[in-house]
Structure 1
Amino acid sequence: MDYAASTFAKIPKSALQKLSICSNTNLRRCLGLIRSTPTHVIYHMAAEMPTSYRIEMATAKEIIKCIAYNLPMKKIIITDKLSKNTSYYKIYQKYKLIFYNIATINTKKQSLRKIVTDDNFFKNTAKNKECNKNIINTILKEKIHLLESQQFELIFTDGSIKDNIMGAAFIHEKSNTTKSFYSNKKVASMTAELIAIQKAVEFAIIQNFKKIAILTDSLSSIFAIKNEESNNHIVQEIIEIINASNLDKIEIHYIPAHKNINQNEKADEAAKNANQNGERIRIPWTIKDAIKEIENKIRKEWETEYKGKITNKGKDYGQIYPEIIKKPWFQKKNTKLESRDIKVINRILSNHTFCKDTLNKMNIYDDNSCETCNTIENTNHILFHCNKYANIRSKYPLLQNHTTLIDIQKKYGDKMYNTITSFLKQCKLEL
């Protein structure tokens, strides 16, 4: 669906509708939903954005890469020479403030000759989960003693994201130096950690240190620096600064977070309070941060649309899920239902099942009445009230003590799904 999607961002509504129908149909089948299910419910349940938003996102990604990798198209984009009839023009104008501030990526492979990374704090001593704080501090003392005996200057770093404010800090205990930095830009935690490392390196160069050891609790930052083909501009800047400096050697060591390591805790505190005591800095967008920022904006648009639609269609589903979700309920770790059962629950949640009430609205049945109870046969009636299944229901207190799906879902959440599928199997029903 996303292949060449950027060419679709400005297609006629009739063509977009055909693409949407194709996407709607496939999603509905995968989820086991029936054709009367509202479209916004289908996309919400799948934790996907509707077609128009996905096309917009795909176009934005292409523009970001054109700018970051300095592709020939970049000059046309940033000088506003795009035709107004193109999809690129529409998306560029919408997110211009983000596109303006994307860092350029160096595509040349960089040398890590001066850099040594160590991502294994515990080595053969013990595993992280088996270690208490005393053992961790003992390992750390040994590490510090070894590094100091080799004439390394030790700098502890940390990053923080708090209330959408990025904070970064480093501590050099020997000179009693604590420096912190902040930005109001919404970025990933790894970006904050990398900024802290970068500032620590810059400090070491100013101090004319020859050998430094940076101790960080960010494994993702270490892995990013180890990657010689990283497309993160901060990583590239760190390596360039080191290679161009008088530093003889730099080692970057992983240390566990929140394990009562005094220096790490101080760096963490400094990073969290950076917006009060630190220096404000400007950070160009990394590729990942720029993509995430635009995705968040698009998702907010989709959420606004979804919230507006559930007031009209899919009201019951909207009461269970008033906001958009990042992951479908059936992808959670504790979900142990078979595919067929998941599809049954999906139909029940959507309130569009194979009950008489739904089928009557689809003009498949002429009557929507329950043959036993002479009342409307909807999903709630079958699960909680129908006398035909009273004996079986008596084995399930969860179903006896509630009157609607909304009530039971709000109280028990996903835990109730096993009970419902078990009840339906005993009743030999497939809603």
Structure 2
Amino acid sequence: MSEFQAIILAAGRGSRMYPLTEDCPKALLPVGNQPLIWYPIQLLEQNGFNEALVVVRDSAAGAVSDALSNLRGLRIKLSTVTIPETEDWGTADSLRHIRNKIHSDVLLISCDLITTVPLRTLMDFHQVHECTLTSLLVREEGSKRSTERDIVGLSGDSRLVYMSAQADLDDHLTLNRAMLKRYPHIRLFTELLDSHLYLIKKWVVDHLADNREVSSVKGELVPYLVHHQSIRANETYTKPLKQALVKAASSCVDELETLAYEFSSFNGHIGGNKEFREDLIRCHALLLGSEFTTRVNTLPAFTEANRMISGHLSAFGLEKPLSQPNWRSKGVSVSPDSQVASSAQLAEKVSVKKACIGEHCSIGERSKVINCVIMDHVNIGEGCSLQGCVVCSHARLEERVTLKDCYVGANFTITKEADMRGETLVVGGGLHF
């Protein structure tokens, strides 16, 4: 897919997913017994990409590189690039840092996005409409609505004309006159979320080098571009933005016209194409059909993604693990919407419902695991009952432990007969019974 360069952003600290990320990079958290980053990688490969850059923090580079090398069946070439661990950078900062490795327009995708959206549809739209930026929006379901609401304004041609986090607004919404004059018919939405998948012109990435005030793509770059598309170029465009547009224009008009333009005052009139003169910056957003799309960026979203993914395995080329032949004779019950890794060991009369059980786990006799995510190498003793829990790698639960709505950190041990609800348990900082 030579017209776009794919970049997977996997450098987030995952602070909203503590304690799961205490011992594991966010990109490697398991969803459906696959590392989270596997889903955007698979999406890119399914849509014809032959290579991609993966942006990670220095501290996670080794673990992510090892995990990527162990992914089976992938043909796409993956190259990791790192950002300093000491820097608290946003997504636009990361793009600025690696801009020398970017040679074409960019398809930017977050490692926490799981979607079956056909990328070709977005790319065709982006190219046909000569978009500066194209964003994928997703519609929230009623019971799963996020507390982080965006207010999104779209014109009739899918032009993205307004975007702001609701938390950033006062009691009222202000729309500027220039925008309303240019786009008199606008629909405002409060149930649409930015999926963190973008198609971006290369000149925008180059422009980031001269505009260091922009730190994040979603929070700052998108509103910046949306704002500047609704005003005339000679009104408030900064000098760096004017220069970036001049450079971008050189690919759209002939050399003589560009040269004449550079020696004239900037008035927003480039070339003889009226549409191009009036649309130096074009931001669009697409909301596509009923494709499965979710972001795994909070603890509830992580649990929900693991619950839902079993119904979408075929879309990602995955097959549900087969039941072990001795489960029936041992009285083991595993619901159809559960996933149990082939190396997991389930003792007699174990019951698993709406749960994901990772590699090399051991679950003792008569234990019940309901609506849970159990990561790799977890040992659960006999007679335990877990409901709505996430248990991280190498944790150990002794006999007859009862947990409900708990998060158990990596390497944590819970001694026998403990009974807890709504607890976060981590080594060195949580409860240890």
TM bin (shorter chain): under 0.3
Identify which of structures 1 and 2 has the higher relative contact order when contacts are C-alpha pairs closer than 8 Å and 6+ apart: 1
Which structure is higher in helix share? 1
Give the TM-score normalised by the residue count of structure 1. 0.28
Which structure is higher in strand share? 2
Give the TM-score normalised by the residue count of structure 2. 0.28
